[in-house]
């Protein structure tokens, strides 16, 4: 010892650290291994260090995002190092529930996306950026409008109720709506737990779990500043092919004549007429600015960021806007040698303006049905009335008169203290919170859309208010109204857990987690409506401005709810010789959603893996990694209304006495004290395979069965549940099965080269089937077709969730002789009518019952594919992202069945006489069964979409160096440039905004924008 | 150092354990600001508010009104298309079967009303307070009314009295013979009649007169003519009611509560409701739905062209009978008579067109129904008016041989509209009374049930099958959901 000290040479070593392309890296930590002797590189990537033991010293270079490098000094005075970027590797750590695990050692089916792949998509919401990037995760847009949400489905639909996965950002619970608050650039990584290993989250895990981590800094790193900005112009990705004025007049004349009515147009040479779509769709800007700083000192690391994003809508421009301000501070600090504090804080301010969408009465529904022979404005400058079509109003007037604003202020974060007892044992305490203040304001001015329009709030074009009789004699005016609501929501989670990890002689490895969690969510709101706002103007639209006499028309409301969870969980994992891994999870949850009879549930999971490539006998040089995995376990879903287990008097019991509305009480939902959660049992078998350290393949087969569905089925009317505000009891009944195969393939060339390419491909096959429904219930009805029409979608045994049911057609009846001589009688059929198929073979087409109805399609795709490609050469990079869904159908439900409503141009090929068409029926104002829900209204919804195409150029460093810029990249990109589909509607990528059973029903869906943008990424 | 570390571990472990087992109370939440159904009836106000809840279901009567007209020779279904409220079109054409949304609504809504009444009766002995008997009398009236609606449509229906059924119990329940249902109806109504006053200062509360009139009607439906005659006699002799002079004023909002009012369902325009939940409406949906489609002109408002009167009904009136134009609006004639006819427009719905609209319950300008003015109007539904009582009394008397009294009542109704007096007797008199019922009460929801009860349906309704269409089918889903053991009504 003594002599070593004497002879050890103290010597200086210096050098430059660069990345693979030769760009210097500042802030790299350089440490003499085995000592606390170290330094960091300066702004030019240079370092110098006095070594304690120059002969034997090993220098270790570490920097976040790069593979660590260790170099023996071997007495040299100058050591230059080129660090390789840390692309996805098996050694990478992945966040799992209450801990991390090496990707290599995972026993469950998971899928990861790195932050850069989200950021690169330039998409305002991170969930939309995930579309097509993860096998087994289906994401559909609920609306293309700014701030519109998505539908995230992991491994299919397991219930007709809430199918949203549990989303945790840095351990804080988010709902899918709340994802608007996140700036996609802040995301460091996303990990999706798809199989039963999600069971560590117990009663909330049945729909899968998405774990999102935001960016953190690294200790000892010099400050790095990144600035990103992009600006884009959006336009609609599609317009419908509607009839122009001339075509419209011809078709309508024929329609009226056939119905025996006077023809509406004596002259059909009307030219193009009004193109309502051209007026409603606009070019709209969007822009994003993002500033982020990371770094750290000896004991602390930080990541601080701020961003501003704003997007106008392609419908309505600024009337349909989403704007987000966002600030974030993440700090990790060592309070002492053993105690580490992780502090994550996010503040977001969002503002959203939205127009009516996705339903009868939405702007686009009105746009499609407005007829081309009406001009937008009358000669005197007012908006036209479109009088001949009931309940269809001038969409431009509607945009102008819609005034609503939703503002959200959100604080989200966690404080986590971890005490490390030893290398093996640590103890964490975590307090996570999510606070939101939501202000909504809806101003309804006095408007007149024309005679007889249901949306009128005035009684004439002079905007005179209606007169309301209060009591026997008091008459008051009812003018412009404003509705305001202020709601607060607070989620608090407190979690405590012990992590143990020990390696015994590189033979036995043991990991264990034991913890407890309490969760409380509370929401409260007050709302009020005020009437007779001065000047019919939004400028005065505040509930304080109520001018209605005596406060007669003022009304106020409130709500409040609270729900709680109390949980304990444990996980144990044992690995033998790095080859065999077995893991078990047990979680016990208590939920306030359920009654004392069944409040607690136990959710076990087992999983295992075999790393075959680690075996000595495994001798396939091309295969560098091969792992087989399986898991089986139980998880739950508790997403139902609070207090569904007991009977409350929250029905509506209102009657009119003495001409005054009198509030009484009435029974609400009937009780079910034995109510419990849905149970999902899932089996997963899969493997991971790597060829030559470059090509990764992952495959999974899964079988996911959900039992005891939280059902609110029809009950016998005799129980009396169907009065106002009444509901049948929630019961546990019905089973659903999801089976499928997932495939992922990834390839990346060596990042150290100055050229490269790579790609990720994923494919998912999914089969969904309802296995049973409650006794006595044939099906659960979903969305209706048309106006006051039949239910077209159902939840029914033997079919996929939300499948479509209606009449199958077999061409068109061509002649009366054909009808008379047919073996099947179709009541009311006339030549030119759709010919329905007699499914039950009784010789007659039955309307009004199921005898001749069959499955016409399903909103669920059979296959989904995602493909991401990238290539680079020197400073240039190009990337493309493609998503495809195959095998789903869409119901065309945006055509109003009214004589004067405009129609799509396929009607030009209608039946006009024998043999003229065997596909499109005749047009008539007379009574016809052609409006029955049939396959005539069902279209193939398959599509392939180029989601993002981007071309970037990184300016050579020698030009930017002087400005202290370490990297400057400029790019141009296009989103949704190309969509290949046979679907006639606006957008085939439609979600389920109206709930699970309304999926695939198109009411004039707000399409996603096609966006052309340019941007810069700047690093200092 | 070592010891403190172990202390820490123990502390950490105990924290986990405590969290796991220690705070079970944490999950015991109570709903805030809502009441629990089982512990509700504590004071008199509670009963009163529950009673208001039981009244609420009366507002679904517009459905009964529609079917009573559309199923008969008085009206067709109409609407936007033949699939718009398809159940009504099926009933119109007498091709309805056990799958029919509108019939199911009748079934569900009336049982919801019965359940709310039974809920009060279940807890009727909780406390005593002044006026309790009147609360119970109203409750029993409402229960009788809902049961009467059910048995009128479906015949034998499960009789549930003074209790609420759970999901299990409903599987074992049987259809109760109609005679037993009627016995309960009569008992409830007799109790109501015995305990209610002839008048109530609160507009909308049921009275002794309403109870007796409904009791008489129930007796008439059972062909208990003598009893019916005597029940109606009490109403007439009370002197509480009189026909108003001008038939045209019977159905206006301004004139509500007139001397001819025996039993009205109350509506308001202040919070009419929306299409989303028709049973939640506080406004009358019949005028909105029955209004003129896309109408732009004077006097009337815009509506949905439902329940359109037939030519047959229009022609049934004597030209000089003021009730024709008061009951049936000839739209073209009306427009032609206006000062500027060419400026008046309206549309024809794809569900059918007759040229006529129901002029009693029709959307009129100024009768606003908020927030969706197309949907509702504040006009009350006149369920039983005195003219109806007189005609029912006439019928009961004619059936029991009191032709003189029958003529007197019948002619009181005819005199009001200046129609010549009727002097017939026997079967002819009965026929004349039936005809008068159609003329006097058209568009008010009675016609189909009158035709069935008097055996005149086959003759007057196209497609009516004797032995089948007297009753509507029990909704198939209701049979299934009640355990699947009920026998469907004949021939369905």
CA atoms within 13 A on the CB side of A107: 28
Provide ipTM, 2 decimals.
0.93
Strand extents, DSSP E, A479-591: 481-504, 508-531, 555-576, 580-591
Q: Which of A545, A566, A587 is the last residue of a domain?
A: A566
pLDDT of B416-460, one tens digit each? 999 999 999 999 999 999 999 999 999 999 999 999 999 999 999
Which residue did the predictor score with more confidence, B238 or A43?
Answer: B238
Do residues B434 and B396 share a domain?
Answer: yes
Question: What tokens appear for A953 in the block?
Answer: 């150029």
CA distances from B18 to A97, A508, B93 (A): 21, 32, 70
Q: Which of B349, B379, B409 is the last residue of a domain?
A: B379
Residues A122-156: b if buried by 16+ CB within 10 A, e if exposed: bbbbbbbbbbbbbbbbbbbbbbbbbbbbbbbbbbb
Set of chain B residues whose Cβ sits within 8 Å of the Cβ of A720: 111-116, 118, 164-165
Domain of residue B302, residue span: 276-379
Gap between the Cα atoms of A500 and A424, Å rounded:
5
Do residues A115 and A59 share a domain?
Answer: no
Residues with Cβ within 8 Å of A721's Cβ and at least 6 positions away in sequence, in order, are: A667, A669, A670, A715, A727, A728, A729, B112, B115
State whether residue A959 is helix, strand or coil.
Answer: helix
Closest CA to A611 of A100, A106, A92, A15: A106
Set of chain B residues whose Cβ sits within 8 Å of the Cβ of A427: 8-9, 12
User: Quick check: is A193 in a domain?
Assistant: yes
Judge: B167–A670 Cβ closer than 8 Å, yes or no: yes
User: Quick check: is A134 in a domain?
Assistant: yes
Do residues B305 and B398 share a domain?
Answer: no
Q: Which residues pair with A778 in a beta bridge?
A: none
Do residues B261 and B291 share a domain?
Answer: no
State whether residue A667 is helix, strand or coil.
Answer: coil
User: Quick check: is A483 in a domain?
Assistant: yes
Judge: B16–A517 Cβ closer than 8 Å, yes or no: no
User: Quick check: is B72 in a domain?
Assistant: yes
Residues with Cβ within 8 Å of A883's Cβ and at least 6 positions away in sequence, in order, are: A131, A132, A864, A865, A866, A867, A944, A945, A947
The gap from C-alpha B109 to its chain's centroid, in whole angstroms, comes to: 10
Answer for the pair A427, A419: CB distance below 8 angstroms, yes or no. Answer: yes
Gap between the Cα atoms of A268 and A250, Å rounded:
6
Q: Which of A566, A585, A613 is the last residue of a domain?
A: A566
Domain of residue A508, residue span: 430-566
Strand extents, DSSP E, A577-622: 580-591, 600-611
Helix, strand, coil shares, percent, chain A, to 5: 10, 50, 40
Residue B240 has φ and ψ, to the nearest 5°, of: -80, -20
Set of chain B residues whose Cβ sits within 8 Å of the Cβ of A671: 37
For the entire predicted model, the pTM comes to: 0.79
Do residues B393 and B249 share a domain?
Answer: yes
Do residues A60 and A98 share a domain?
Answer: no
Do residues B152 and B234 share a domain?
Answer: no
Judge: A723–B375 Cβ closer than 8 Å, yes or no: no
Set of chain B residues whose Cβ sits within 8 Å of the Cβ of A563: 29
State whether residue A838 is helix, strand or coil.
Answer: coil
User: What pLDDT score was predicted for residue A147?
Assistant: 86
Element (H, E) at A301: strand A300-313
Do residues A108 and A75 share a domain?
Answer: no
User: Quick check: is A163 in a domain?
Assistant: yes
User: Span A643-666, mean pLDDT?
Assistant: 89
Least CB-CB distance to B32: which of A560, A591, A716? A560
Gap between the Cα atoms of A595 and A592, Å rounded:
7
pLDDT at A322 over 90: yes
User: Quick check: is A938 in a domain?
Assistant: no
Element (H, E) at A889: strand A889-892
pLDDT at A837 over 50: yes
3-state SS, chain B, equals CHHHHHHHHHHHHHHHHHHHHHCHHHHCCCCCCCCEHHHCCCCHHHHHHHHHHHHHHHHHHHHHHHHHHHCCCCEEEECCCCCCCHHHHHHHCCCCCCCCHHHHHHHHHHHHHHHHHHHHHHCCCCCCCCCHHHHHHHHHHHHHHHHHHHHHHHCCECCCCCCCCCCCHHHHCCCECHHHHHHHHHHHHHHHHHHCCCCCCCCCCCCHHHHHHHHHHHHHHCCCHHHHHHHHHHHHHCCCCCCCCCHHHCCCCCCCCCCCEEEEECCCCCCCECCCCHHHCCCEHHHHHHCEECCECCCECEECCEEEECHHHHHHCCCCCHHHHHHEEEHHHHHHCCCCHHHCECCCCCCCCCCEEECCCCCECCCCCCECCCCCECCCEEEEEHHHHHHHHHHHHHHCCCHHHHHHHHHHHHHHCCCCCCCCCHHHHHHHHHHHHHHHHCCCCCHHHHHHHCCCHHHHCCCCCCCCCCCCCCCHHHHHHCCCCCCCCCCC
Asked, as a colleague might, if the bond just before B371 is cis with ω within 30 of 0, I would say yes
Do residues B256 and B405 share a domain?
Answer: yes
Please tell me the least confidently modeled range out of A53-57, A612-616, A734-738. A53-57
User: Span A495-511, mean pLDDT?
Assistant: 91
Do residues A450 and A504 share a domain?
Answer: yes
Closest CA to A286 of A359, A333, A338, A235: A235
pLDDT at A777 over 80: no
Do residues B91 and B210 share a domain?
Answer: no
Count of structural domains within chain A: 3
CA distances from B334 to B294, B321, B337, B359 (A): 16, 17, 5, 11
Do residues A438 and A548 share a domain?
Answer: yes
A13: CATH: 2.60.40.1120
Question: What tokens appear for B56 in the block?
Answer: 């609420």
Answer for the pair A240, A1007: CB distance below 8 angstroms, yes or no. Answer: no
Do residues B162 and B172 share a domain?
Answer: yes
Which residue did the predictor score with more confidence, A24 or A205?
Answer: A205
Answer for the pair A357, A280: CB distance below 8 angstroms, yes or no. Answer: no
Q: Which of A531, A566, A601 is the last residue of a domain?
A: A566
CA distances from B150 to B108, B153, B175 (A): 10, 5, 12
Count of structural domains within chain B: 3
| pLDDT band at residue B1 under the 50/70/90 scheme | very low
| pLDDT band at residue B394 under the 50/70/90 scheme | very high
First to last CA, chain A: 46
User: Quick check: is B16 in a domain?
Assistant: no
Least CB-CB distance to A724: which of B8, B26, B56? B56
Judge: A665–B372 Cβ closer than 8 Å, yes or no: no
Chain B contact probe: residue of A428, A452, A455, A593 with most B CBs at under 10 A = A452
Please tell me the least confidently modeled range out of A534-548, A584-598, B414-428. A534-548
User: Span B284-296, mean pLDDT?
Assistant: 91
A201: CATH: 2.170.130.10
User: Quick check: is B454 in a domain?
Assistant: no
Do residues A72 and A102 share a domain?
Answer: no
pLDDT at A243 over 50: yes
Do residues B332 and B413 share a domain?
Answer: no
pLDDT at B131 over 70: yes
Q: In the A/B pair of chains, how many CB contacts fall below 8 A?
A: 326
Set of chain B residues whose Cβ sits within 8 Å of the Cβ of A925: 348, 350
User: Quick check: is A21 in a domain?
Assistant: yes
Closest CA to A704 of A803, A756, A637: A637
Judge: B374–A425 Cβ closer than 8 Å, yes or no: no
Please tell me the least confidently modeled range out of A203-212, A496-505, B269-278, B307-316. B269-278
Answer for the pair A683, A155: CB distance below 8 angstroms, yes or no. Answer: no
Residue B110 has φ and ψ, to the nearest 5°, of: -70, -35
Q: Which residues pair with A577 in a beta bridge?
A: none
User: Quick check: is B61 in a domain?
Assistant: yes
Residues with Cβ within 8 Å of B194's Cβ and at least 6 positions away in sequence, in order, are: B137
Instruction: Judge residue B385's burial from the number of C-beta atoms within 10 Å of its C-beta, 0-12 exposed, 13-18 middle, 19 or more buried.
Output: buried
Answer for the pair B329, B257: CB distance below 8 angstroms, yes or no. Answer: no
Do residues A138 and A60 share a domain?
Answer: no
User: Span A534-561, mean pLDDT?
Assistant: 82
User: Quick check: is B14 in a domain?
Assistant: no
Gap between the Cα atoms of B106 and B112, Å rounded:
10
Do residues A436 and A557 share a domain?
Answer: yes
Q: Which of B333, B361, B379 is the last residue of a domain?
A: B379
Q: Which of B322, B354, B379 is the last residue of a domain?
A: B379
How far is A99 from chain B, CA to nearest CA, in Å? 17
User: What pLDDT score was predicted for residue A89?
Assistant: 55
Judge: A663–B49 Cβ closer than 8 Å, yes or no: yes
CA distances from A160 to A612, A803, A891, B477 (A): 40, 12, 19, 21
Judge: A466–B370 Cβ closer than 8 Å, yes or no: yes
User: Span A66-79, mean pLDDT?
Assistant: 82
Answer for the pair A435, A489: CB distance below 8 angstroms, yes or no. Answer: yes
pLDDT of A937-947, one tens digit each? 999 999 999 99
User: Quick check: is A523 in a domain?
Assistant: yes
Do residues B151 and B220 share a domain?
Answer: no
Judge: B112–A723 Cβ closer than 8 Å, yes or no: yes
Judge: A591–B59 Cβ closer than 8 Å, yes or no: no
Do residues A434 and A549 share a domain?
Answer: yes
Judge: A451–B296 Cβ closer than 8 Å, yes or no: yes
Do residues A443 and A557 share a domain?
Answer: yes
Please tell me the least confidently modeled range out of A436-440, A768-772, A821-825, B10-14. B10-14
pLDDT of A616-633, one tens digit each? 898 888 888 999 999 999
DSSP A819: H
Do residues B395 and B255 share a domain?
Answer: yes
Do residues B148 and B158 share a domain?
Answer: yes
How far is B171 from chain A, CA to nearest CA, in Å? 9
Gap between the Cα atoms of B40 and B47, Å rounded:
9
Answer for the pair A230, A1014: CB distance below 8 angstroms, yes or no. Answer: yes
Do residues A71 and A99 share a domain?
Answer: no
DSSP A133: T
Answer for the pair A305, A185: CB distance below 8 angstroms, yes or no. Answer: yes
Do residues A101 and A78 share a domain?
Answer: no
pLDDT at A7 over 60: no
Gap between the Cα atoms of B25 and B36, Å rounded:
20
């Amino acid at each position: 010892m003594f002599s070593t000290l004497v002879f050890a040479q103290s010597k200086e070593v210096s050098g430059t650290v660069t990345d693979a392309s030769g760009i210097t890296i500042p802030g790299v930590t350089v440490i003499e291994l085995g000592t606390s002797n170290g330094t960091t590189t300066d702004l030019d990537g240079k370092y110098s260090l006095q070594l304690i033991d120059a002969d034997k010293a090993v220098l270790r270079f570490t920097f976040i995002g790069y593979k660590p490098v260790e170099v023996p000094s071997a007495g040299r005075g100058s050591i230059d190092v080129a660090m390789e970027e840390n692309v996805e590797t098996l050694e990478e750590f992945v966040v799992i529930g209450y801990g991390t695990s090496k990707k290599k050692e995972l026993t469950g089916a998971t899928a990861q996306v790195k932050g850069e792949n989200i950021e690169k998509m330039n998409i305002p919401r991170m969930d939309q950026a995930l579309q097509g990037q993860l096998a087994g995760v289906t994401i559909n847009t609920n609306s293309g409008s700014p701030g519109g949400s998505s539908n995230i489905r992991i491994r299919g639909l397991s219930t007709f109720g809430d199918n949203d996965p549990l989303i945790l950002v840095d351990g804080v619970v988010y709902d899918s709506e709340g994802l608007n608050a996140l700036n996609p650039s802040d995301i460091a990584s996303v990990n999706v737990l798809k199989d039963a290993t999600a069971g560590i989250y117990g009663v909330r895990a049945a729909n899968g779990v998405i774990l999102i981590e935001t960016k953190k800094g690294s200790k000892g790193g010099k400050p790095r500043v990144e600035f990103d900005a992009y600006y884009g112009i959006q336009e609609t990705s599609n317009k419908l092919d509607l009839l122009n004025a001339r075509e419209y007049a011809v078709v309508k004349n024929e329609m009226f004549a056939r119905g025996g009515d006077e023809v509406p147009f004596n002259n059909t040479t009307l030219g193009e007429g009004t193109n309502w779509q051209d007026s409603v769709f606009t070019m709209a800007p969007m822009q994003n600015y993002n500033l982020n700083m990371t770094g750290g000192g000896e004991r602390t690391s930080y990541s601080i960021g701020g961003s501003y994003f704003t997007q106008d809508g392609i419908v309505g421009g600024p009337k349909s806007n989403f704007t987000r301000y966002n600030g974030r501070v993440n700090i990790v600090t060592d309070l002492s040698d053993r105690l580490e504090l992780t502090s994550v804080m996010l503040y977001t301010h969002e503002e959203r303006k939205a127009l009516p969408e996705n339903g009868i009465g939405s702007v686009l529904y009105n746009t499609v049905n407005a007829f081309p022979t009406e001009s937008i404005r009358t000669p005197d400058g007012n908006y036209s009335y479109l009088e001949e079509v009931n309940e269809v109003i001038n969409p431009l007037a509607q945009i102008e008169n819609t005034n609503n604003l939703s503002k959200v202020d959100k604080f989200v974060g966690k404080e986590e203290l971890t005490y490390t007892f030893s290398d093996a044992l640590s103890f964490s305490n975590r307090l996570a919170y999510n606070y939101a203040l939501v202000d909504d304001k809806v101003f309804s001015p006095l408007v007149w859309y024309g005679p007889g329009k249901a949306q009128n709030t005035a009684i004439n074009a002079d905007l005179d208010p209606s007169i309301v009789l209060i009591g026997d004699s008091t008459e008051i005016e009812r003018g412009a109204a404003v509705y305001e609501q202020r709601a607060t929501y607070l989620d608090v989670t407190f979690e405590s857990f012990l992590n143990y990890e020990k390696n015994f002689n590189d033979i036995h490895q043991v990991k264990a987690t034991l913890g407890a969690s309490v969760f409380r969510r509370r929401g409260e709101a007050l709302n009020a409506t005020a009437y007779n706002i001065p000047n019919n103007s939004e400028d005065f639209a505040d509930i304080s401005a109520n001018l209605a006499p005596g406060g007669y028309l003022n009304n106020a409301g409130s709500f409040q709810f609270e729900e709680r969870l109390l949980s304990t969980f444990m996980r144990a994992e044992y690995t033998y010789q790095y080859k065999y891994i077995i893991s078990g999870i047990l979680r016990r949850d208590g939920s306030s959603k359920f009654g004392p009879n069944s409040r607690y549930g136990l959710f076990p999971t087992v999983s295992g893996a075999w790393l075959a490539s680690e075996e000595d006998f495994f001798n396939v040089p091309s295969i560098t990694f091969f792992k087989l995995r399986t898991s089986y376990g139980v998880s739950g879903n508790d997403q139902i209304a609070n207090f569904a287990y007991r009977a409350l008097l929250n029905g509506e019991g209102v009657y009119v006495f003495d001409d005054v509305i009198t509030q009484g009480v009435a029974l609400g939902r009937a009780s079910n004290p034995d109510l419990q959660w849905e149970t999902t049992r899932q089996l997963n078998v899969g493997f991971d395979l790597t060829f030559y350290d470059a090509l990764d393949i992952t495959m999974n087969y899964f079988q996911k069965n959900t039992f005891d569905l939280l059902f609110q089925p029809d009950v016998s009317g005799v129980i009396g549940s169907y009065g106002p505000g009444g509901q049948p009891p929630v019961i546990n009944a019905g089973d659903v099965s999801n089976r499928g195969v997932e495939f992922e393939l990834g390839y990346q060339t060596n990042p150290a080269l100055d050229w490269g390419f790579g790609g990720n491909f994923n494919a998912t096959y999914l089969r969904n089937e309802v296995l049973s429904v409650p006794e006595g219930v044939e099906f659960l009805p979903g969305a209706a077709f048309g106006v006051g029409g039949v239910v077209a979608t159902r939840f029914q045994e033997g079919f996929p969730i939300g499948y479509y049911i209606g009449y199958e057609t077999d061409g068109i009846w061509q002649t009366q002789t054909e009808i008379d001589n047919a073996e099947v009688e179709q009541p009311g059929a006339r030549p030119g009518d759709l010919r329905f198929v007699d499914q039950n073979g009784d010789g007659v087409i039955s309307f009004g019952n199921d005898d001749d109805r069959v499955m016409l399609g399903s909103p669920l795709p059979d296959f989904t594919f995602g493909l991401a490609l990238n290539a680079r050469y020197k400073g240039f990079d190009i990337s493309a992202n493609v998503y495809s869904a195959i095998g789903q159908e869409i119901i065309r439900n945006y055509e109003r069945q009214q004589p004067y409503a405009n129609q799509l141009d396929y009607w030009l090929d209608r039946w006009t006489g024998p043999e003229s068409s065997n596909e499109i029926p005749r047009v008539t104002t007379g009574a016809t069964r052609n409006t029955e829900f049939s396959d005539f209204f069902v279209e193939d919804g398959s599509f392939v979409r180029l989601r993002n195409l981007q071309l970037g150029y990184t300016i050579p460093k020698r030009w930017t160096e002087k400005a202290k810029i370490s990297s400057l990249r400029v790019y141009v990109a296009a989103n949704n440039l190309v969509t290949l589909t046979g679907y006639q509607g606006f957008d085939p990528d439609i979600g389920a905004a109206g709930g699970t059973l309304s999926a695939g029903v198109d009411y004039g869906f707000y399409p996603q924008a096609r966006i052309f943008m340019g941007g810069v990424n700047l690093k200092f | 150092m070592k010891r403190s570390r172990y202390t820490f571990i123990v502390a950490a472990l105990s924290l986990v354990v405590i969290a796991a087992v220690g705070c079970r109370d944490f999950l015991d939440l109570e709903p805030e600001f809502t009441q629990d159904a089982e512990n509700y009836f504590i004071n008199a106000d509670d009963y009163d508010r529950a009673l208001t809840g039981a009244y609420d279901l009366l507002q679904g009567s517009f459905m009964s009104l529609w079917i009573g007209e559309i199923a008969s020779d008085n009206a067709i279904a109409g609407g936007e298309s033949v699939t718009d409220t398809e159940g009504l079109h099926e009933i119109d054409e007498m091709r309805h079967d056990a799958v029919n949304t509108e019939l199911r609504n009748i079934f569900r809504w009336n049982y919801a009303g019965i359940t709310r009444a039974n809920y009060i009766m279940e807890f009727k002995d909780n406390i005593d307070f002044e006026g309790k008997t009147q609360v119970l009398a109203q409750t029993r009236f409402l229960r009788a009314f809902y049961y009467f609606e059910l048995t009128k449509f479906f015949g034998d229906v499960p009789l549930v009295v003074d209790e609420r059924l759970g999901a299990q119990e409903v599987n074992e329940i049987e259809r109760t013979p109609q005679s037993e249902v009627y016995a309960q109806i009569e008992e409830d109504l007799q109790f109501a009649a015995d305990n209610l006053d002839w008048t109530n200062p609160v507009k909308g509360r049921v009275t002794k007169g309403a109870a007796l009139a409904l009791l008489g009607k129930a007796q008439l439906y059972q062909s208990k003519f003598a009893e019916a005659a005597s029940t109606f006699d009490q109403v007439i002799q009370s002197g509480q009611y009189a026909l108003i002079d001008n038939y045209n004023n019977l159905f206006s909002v301004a004139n509500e509560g007139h001397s001819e009012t025996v039993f009205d369902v109350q509506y308001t325009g202040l919070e009419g409701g929306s299409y989303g939940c028709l049973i939640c409406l506080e406004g009358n949906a019949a005028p909105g739905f029955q209004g003129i489609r896309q109408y732009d002109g004077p006097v009337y408002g815009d509506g949905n062209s439902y329940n359109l009167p037939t030519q047959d009904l229009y022609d049934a009136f004597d030209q000089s009978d003021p009730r024709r134009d008061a009951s049936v609006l000839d739209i073209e004639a009306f427009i032609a008579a206006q000062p500027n006819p060419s400026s008046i427009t309206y549309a024809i719905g794809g569900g059918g067109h007759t040229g006529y609209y129901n002029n009693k319950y029709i959307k009129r300008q100024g009768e606003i129904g908020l927030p969706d003015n197309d949907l509702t109007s504040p006009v009350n539904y006149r369920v039983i008016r005195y003219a109806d009582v007189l005609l029912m009394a006439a019928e009961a008397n004619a059936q029991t041989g009191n032709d003189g009294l029958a003529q007197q009542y019948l002619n009181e109704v005819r005199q009001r509209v200046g129609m010549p007096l009727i002097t017939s007797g026997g079967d002819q008199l009965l026929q004349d009374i039936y005809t008068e019922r159609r003329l006097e009460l058209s568009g008010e929801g009675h016609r189909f049930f009158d035709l069935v009860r008097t055996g005149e349906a086959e003759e007057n309704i196209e497609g009516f099958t004797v032995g089948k269409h007297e009753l509507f089918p029990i909704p198939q889903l209701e049979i299934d959901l009640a355990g699947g053991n009920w026998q469907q009504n004949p021939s369905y």
